[in-house]
Structure 1
Amino acid sequence: MKRAPPAWLQATPFTAVMLLFFIAPLLLIAAVSFWPLSDYELIPGFTFQNYATLFEGCASLQDPCVTLKTYASTIKFSLVTWALTLVIGFAIAYFLAFHVRSLTAQTVLFVVCTIPFWTSNVIRMISWVPLLGRNGLVNQTLQAAGLTSEPVEWLLFSDFSVVLAFVHLYTMFMIVPIFNSMMRIDRSLIEAATDAGASAWQTLWNVVVPLSRTGILIGSIFVITIVMGDFVTVGVMGGQQIASVGKTIQVQTSYLQFPLAAANAVVLLAVVLLIIVALNRLVDLRKEL
């Protein structure tokens, strides 16, 4: 009988891929973040000046520095997008899992939800411009209905348009894991709650939500981490007028300030990891999966 190769040998290809394409780039970015800042070339060395530059003037809480303001803006976008995608994603996943009985219908509706992913993110973002612009369809409709006398300015190139694009782009990342968790729920538990006299809302809150927490956590991690590092959406939908950490790093790299951008990336990674650790304190994924 042929024996299977040892576990360490089976894990070697995966480990090699992780080291080459994940761990090594992170270590390189961390190393570059300590190199001296130069306008024309990368000079290996060791200095904390890049981190000092990032947080220069941040000691005063009454007048936060640019870095703190940028991180506050990015976290604001992440939390608002997370809340909206959670509500929308949970509602859609609940409908697909509990109100659509046919497996074929579930599959068809699920595929319909993925249709926007068949095109580029940039194309999906640009599609909002003719709708939300000064002479766009929304403003024309509002003026034709007599609801406004002039175009609404905040529909485009504003915080509203950025959040709208985020929700449009990333709600699916919340739907999929929540739907997967809901499909694993034993339907007899729902029937037992109903037989015990629980209302639909009580069943939802006391049975469905707790049993869907793994999917909620995974979806939350997806959405928050993607939004925290996004710079394309903020640039396009914000009209290059709204700051975010990802946008700052993109600008720094465009000006060849690689050590400073690397330091900013390390700080961003630390913030995202802290958020993930905080979320994991609510649900232990290792036990739930």
Structure 2
Amino acid sequence: MSASKNRHAYWQASPLTLVLLAFLVFPIIVIGIVSFWNYNSYSLIPDFIFDNYAYLLTSPVTLKAYINTFQFAFLAWFFTLAIGFTVAYFLAFHIHSVKAQTICFLICTVPFFTSNIIRMISWIPLLGRNGLVNSSLLSAGIIDQPLTFLLYSDFAVVLAYVHLYSLFMVVPIFNSMMRIDRSLVEAAVDAGANAFQVLRDVIVPLSKSGIIVGSIFVMTLVMGDFVTVKIMGGGITANVGMMIYNEISLLQYPAAAAGAVVLLATVLMMLVILFRLVDIRKEL
């Protein structure tokens, strides 16, 4: 009977396994193989060389792209964590009605009814040289000339990331906070703890799993993104995803494949570190 159940379990898992093999594992294997190929201006040359990796790991352009990528990832993580924790704390501990919490969540998800590109483009008339922000500051006499850093800059890229991915931090943190036994908070208050001590010693430690899960979402999304950098950076700045996109545009597929492999390895190392801090199975 046990062997029969095991066979049924294998048959039930086989469709998903085949899908993962066909659409995840196989493409990664192909990318890994192509990353060792040679190429010229008009064709790919099947080979086994390490030139693509050698150039990738020694090029100052690659180093700058990775520095920009980690900078964007850290800043986006920091600001989304601050916003996500604050919003989740407010929803979990200051709104006691389930209906009110649902309404607030729906309000938070309204921007997701449109595509990321539309949401990014909506910042352009607001932050542009002749946009609403500069026009208002000039009219109020606060500035003498338009602020150029508001758009097509690192500031604009980070702002777009925070706008796009804050909800990915709110949801897992809120889920963790809703699991906190309220009697623990009451016990801490009865023991003489002030609001800050309750937050530091009770709320934050018990919300760690949600913070880590939200961090995984935000970090992986930012590390692999290039559209946001392309639109909001205006071609002035670049990250690893943008570098790979440019190589694909120039038909330099082996170099792009090598960049993709290195980026994948970098993200996987980050995920291994984060997964060691929380049991992801408890959050699913």
TM-score normalised per structure 1: 0.93
1:154 to partner: Cα distance: 0.7
**Seq. identity, %:** 60
Amino acid at match of 2:221: I
Q: 1:214 maps to which residue?
A: 209
Distance in 1, matches of 2:207 and 2:283, equals 10
Distance in 1, matches of 2:6 and 2:106, equals 38
Q: Does 1:268 align with 2:263?
A: yes
Q: 1:74 maps to which residue?
A: 69
Contact 1:96-1:179 at 8 Å conserved across structures = yes
Which shows bigger deviation, 32-41 or 75-84?
A: 32-41
1:281 to partner: Cα distance: 3.2
TM-score normalised per structure 2: 0.94
Q: How many residues align?
A: 281
**How does 1:228-243 map onto structure 2 within 5 Å?**
228-243=223-238
1:286 to partner: Cα distance: 4.6
Q: 2:46 maps to which residue?
A: 44
Deviations 1:187-216 (A, max 9, x none): 221122122221111111111111111111
Deviations 1:126-176 (A, max 9, x none): 111111111110001111111101111111111111110110001011111
Distance in 2, matches of 1:17 and 1:196, equals 54
Q: Does 1:90 align with 2:92?
A: no
Match of 2:34 among 32, 35, 46: 32
Q: Does 1:56 align with 2:58?
A: yes
**How does 1:112-191 map onto structure 2 within 5 Å?**
112-191=107-186
Indicate the SS of the match to 2:58. Answer: coil
1:112 to partner: Cα distance: 0.5
Amino acid at match of 2:47: G
Contact 1:190-1:203 at 8 Å conserved across structures = yes
Q: Does 1:6 align with 2:8?
A: yes
Amino acid at match of 2:133: V
1:4 to partner: Cα distance: 9.1
User: Unpaired segments of 5 or more residues in structure 1?
Assistant: 58-64
Distance in 1, matches of 2:249 and 2:18, equals 31
Contact 1:252-1:258 at 8 Å conserved across structures = yes
1:283 to partner: Cα distance: 2.8
Indicate the SS of the match to 2:45. Answer: coil
1:280 to partner: Cα distance: 2.5
Amino acid at match of 2:256: A
User: Unpaired segments of 5 or more residues in structure 2?
Assistant: none
Indicate the SS of the match to 1:194. Answer: helix
Distance in 2, matches of 1:4 and 1:187, equals 42
Distance in 2, matches of 1:3 and 1:56, equals 53
Distance in 2, matches of 1:160 and 1:288, equals 33
1:14 to partner: Cα distance: 1.9
1:92 to partner: Cα distance: 0.4
Deviations 1:18-61 (A, max 9, x none): 1111111111111111111232223322111111121235xxxx
1:288 to partner: Cα distance: 6.7
Q: 1:194 maps to which residue?
A: 189
Amino acid at match of 1:27: I
Contact 1:73-1:243 at 8 Å conserved across structures = yes
Q: 1:62 maps to which residue?
A: none
Distance in 2, matches of 1:276 and 1:3, equals 34
Amino acid at match of 1:33: S
Amino acid at match of 1:47: I
Indicate the SS of the match to 1:171. Answer: helix
Which shows bigger deviation, 48-57 or 180-189?
A: 48-57
Distance in 1, matches of 2:57 and 2:12, equals 45
Contact 1:36-1:44 at 8 Å conserved across structures = yes
